[in-house]
Amino acid sequence: MKSTTVFSATLLDLPVISQEKGNITAINGGIELPFDISRVYYLYDVPGGASRGGHAHIELQQLIVAASGSFDIILNDGHVKRTFTLNRPDKGLFMPSGLWRELDNFSSGAICLVLASDKYTEGDYIRDLSDFKEWKSN
Ligand code: TYD
């Protein structure tokens, strides 16, 4: 969606089943999330100082969780930038489509778990920031 702003992204409190032997967080598409989950992927072994993202999605919706460690997500809607620090496995950033994102400041051992609404399609990416700003303004 072209019209989304950085304020359309929300930090969700994910449910925790807490037991003496450890915790479980379960995420159900359509219940904790406003979309059905079609794909799961995760970033790991990210070298210190590396930056990921640097693109927007035309249709894809995502939930991003720091399954381990921490990292920052900087969102940009063409006008406003907003930074979220993810550092707990029971918090998830819901990201609607139409937002430019960059991920950086990965801690050692960080795992960035992504639940996505669709399969990978390169045609859903906007990888040039100028193209993104033009797309948002039209
Ligand atoms: P990209 O989404 O640009 O990575 P990031 O945003 O984390 O920096 O993807 C990097 C490469 O991996 C790119 O060539 C596309 C490929 N890729 C897949 O083939 N399938 C996938 O599900 C994802 C997320 C990426």
Query: CA torsion 31→69→126→3, rounded to 10°?
Result: 50
43 lines ligand 1 (CB under 6 A): yes
Q: Which atom of ligand 1 is nearest to the CA of 127?
A: 3
- The ranges of the chain with pLDDT < 70 are none
Residue 97: strand, helix, or coil: coil
Rg (CA), the chain: 15
Model confidence pLDDT, tens digit, residues 84-116? 999 999 999 999 999 999 999 999 999 999 999
Answer yes or no: is the C-beta of 41 below 6 A from any ligand 1 atom: yes
